[in-house]
Amino acid sequence: MNRKENILIIGAGLCGSLLALRLAQRGYNVNVYEMRPDLRKTNISAGRSINLAFSNRGNKAMALVGLEDKVKSLCIPMHGRMIHDKQGNTFMSNYSGREQEYINSVSRGELNALLLTEAEKHDHVNIYFNKKCKSVNFENTTALFKDYETKTEFVEDADCIIATDGAGSALRKSYYLGKKFLFSFSQNYLAHGYKELSILPTTAGDYKTFKNALHIWPRGDFMLIALPNLDGSFTVTLFLSYNQGKYNFNNLTTPETVTNFFKEEFPDALKIMPNVVEDFFKNPTGALGTIKCSPWHFKGNTLLMGDAAHAIVPFYGQGMNASFEDVVEFDAVLNKHEGNWENVFTEYEKNRKKDTDAIADLAIDNFYEMRDHVGQAIFQEKRKIEMALEKEYPEDYASKYSLVTFNEHIGYQEAMLKGRAQDKAILNLLSNNLISSNDDIKIILDKVSSETETILKENKIAGL
């Protein structure tokens, strides 16, 4: 059924293109405005993450729009973390004790292109590129754009406007500057930034290191990670302080210092990255920040979604998945309140914000875990126990990582509360020598379950 409402979406990235597709499937008239060129016609990665971790919550959205199989063809399974120490030794830490649970490396550009193409198959979808939103009049439901090609400005109106325009959202800025209602906003940056590098394929087009893993070189205060691409390359990301430590982004200013840094800290990576100096000075250094705000909507006129509402750091691999899940949750609320945008927006935010706040906090937690804890003996013992529990009792135990990543039918907040309690329980029991990985696994399960319940009750009493 073709509905009369006209929906204006600001931003044609991953969230915006998926939302446009889903609204088109429901019969809405959809106009999407994107400030960048059409990525299907030009290369616009320029140091921005070209591959991402795709997991169950994201796949739930692909199932909603009927694209599971097409997206699967773009994915490379990653069954765990391949940890690299300074001597070049490696060990594999699986993401789950259940064989069917793994994450995938997927090309940001190819996935975005697929969603745009699928959305444009609908006659009542129009996508306009090189059109930057400068501001939104959320009271009148209009948006001011600048056309980068003609250098002119124009105004578009709609029945409702949904902004999926990322961390620099024009709608969120308009909420803040408009001062028409009480709007809360926080933007917190890590003291670390990131830089994209690469491991190129062999001359034969093969992978230079193990393909089916997320590679991590944890070094305490900084780290290197690598995700595989379909062409045999890896996208490598260096996470490093701007100004702290022997090496930082502010003092890595010459080819010699960059080379020395990699020789000292990542010698095995350097052997397969002869292009590291070229990449380092070609690609920009990006910031890592968390954005939280409320409310996301103004009456039934406008709504923030995806990174525009809740940008997070990338360390849980859930940024894209969370934005895709936004669309799933929004669609479920539409089923209940279609025809009343104010009710849709209000209930959507009420249901969703607690979970997006939770994954933002979890992503910060995982930053410290990945750069430091994965190399510690007690953490490795904890993971060994978790893998054994998941393998032997798949219906009774799921680690925090599994709860967040593979249990898409529970919210992030529930996964966080239970997962943190389980982590604390196992670490307490290990520290007090009450369990070890050599113990009978059923006894370990009973002790961990009991300790977890105690911690959850204590947290509830304390209001945590």
- Identify whether the C-beta of residue 445 lies closer than 8 Å to the C-beta of residue 389: yes
Q: Are residues 249 and 210 in the same domain?
A: yes
Q: Are residues 385 and 438 in the same domain?
A: yes
Q: Are residues 266 and 204 in the same domain?
A: yes
Q: Are residues 219 and 274 in the same domain?
A: yes
Helix (H, G, I), strand (E, B) or coil at 404: helix
Could you read off the pLDDT of 405-454 as tens digits, one per residue?
Answer: 999 999 999 999 999 999 999 999 999 999 999 999 999 999 999 999 99
CB atoms inside a 10 Å sphere around CB 301: 20
**Of the residues 366, 384, 401, which one is the last residue of a structural domain?**
366
- Identify whether the C-beta of residue 167 lies closer than 8 Å to the C-beta of residue 289: yes
Residue 143 falls inside a structural domain: yes
Q: Of 43-57, 136-150, 182-196, 305-319, which range is least confident?
A: 43-57
Residue 10, CB-side half-sphere exposure with 13 Å CA sphere: 35
Residue 89 falls inside a structural domain: no
Residue 100 falls inside a structural domain: no
Q: Are residues 250 and 114 in the same domain?
A: no
Helix (H, G, I), strand (E, B) or coil at 76: strand
**Of the residues 329, 348, 366, which one is the last residue of a structural domain?**
366
Q: Are residues 22 and 126 in the same domain?
A: yes
On the question of pLDDT at 48 being above 70, the answer is: no
Question: How does residue 10 score in pLDDT terms, banded at 50, 70 and 90?
Answer: very high
Residue 160 falls inside a structural domain: yes
Residue 97 falls inside a structural domain: no
Which CATH number belongs to the domain containing residue 41 in this structure?
3.50.50.60
Question: How does residue 354 score in pLDDT terms, banded at 50, 70 and 90?
Answer: very high
Q: Distance between CA 38 and CA 36 in Å, rounded? A: 7
Quote the pLDDT of residue 131: 98
**Of the residues 244, 260, 287, which one is the last residue of a structural domain?**
287
Helix (H, G, I), strand (E, B) or coil at 31: strand
Q: What is the dihedral of CA 108, 211, 213, 266, to 10 degrees?
A: -100
> Which residue is listed with tokens 């709608």?
171
DSSP 353-404: HHHHHHHHHHHHHHHHHHHTGGGSHHHHHHHHHHHHHHHH-TTT---HHHHH
Q: Are residues 348 and 393 in the same domain?
A: no
Which strands sit side by side in the sheet containing 131-137, from one edge to the other?
Answer: 131-137, 142-147, 153-157
Q: Distance between CA 168 and CA 174 in Å, rounded? A: 11
Quote the pLDDT of residue 49: 60
Distance, C-alpha 298 to centroid of its chain: 26
Quote the pLDDT of residue 2: 47
Q: How many domains does the chain have?
A: 3
On the question of pLDDT at 367 being above 50, the answer is: yes
DSSP 128-143: E-SEEEEEEETTTTEE
**Structural domain harbouring 236:** 188-287
Q: What is the mean pLDDT of the chain?
A: 94
Q: Are residues 139 and 193 in the same domain?
A: no
CB atoms inside a 10 Å sphere around CB 300: 16
Question: How does residue 377 score in pLDDT terms, banded at 50, 70 and 90?
Answer: confident
On the question of pLDDT at 183 being above 90, the answer is: yes
Q: What is the mean pLDDT of residues 159-168?
A: 97
Helix (H, G, I), strand (E, B) or coil at 390: helix
Q: Distance between CA 166 and CA 88 in Å, rounded? A: 38
CA distances from 310 to 296, 330, 351 (A): 10, 15, 14
Residue 194 falls inside a structural domain: yes
Name residues whose C-beta falls within 8 Å of residue 23's C-beta, 6 or more positions apart in sequence. 7, 9, 30
Residue 153 falls inside a structural domain: yes
Q: Are residues 227 and 274 in the same domain?
A: yes
Could you read off the pLDDT of 203-247 as tens digits, one per residue?
Answer: 999 999 999 999 999 998 899 999 999 999 999 999 999 999 999
Residue 101 falls inside a structural domain: no
Q: Are residues 137 and 48 in the same domain?
A: yes
Give CB contacts under 8 A, 24+ apart, made by 328-331.
328/60, 328/61, 328/64, 330/19, 330/305, 331/22, 331/26, 331/64
Whole-structure pTM value: 0.94
Q: Distance between CA 186 and CA 450 in Å, rounded? A: 38
Question: How does residue 41 score in pLDDT terms, banded at 50, 70 and 90?
Answer: very high
Percent of the chain exceeding pLDDT 90 equals 90
Q: Are residues 117 and 43 in the same domain?
A: yes
Tokens of 459: 């947290």
| Residue 408 parent element (H or E) | none
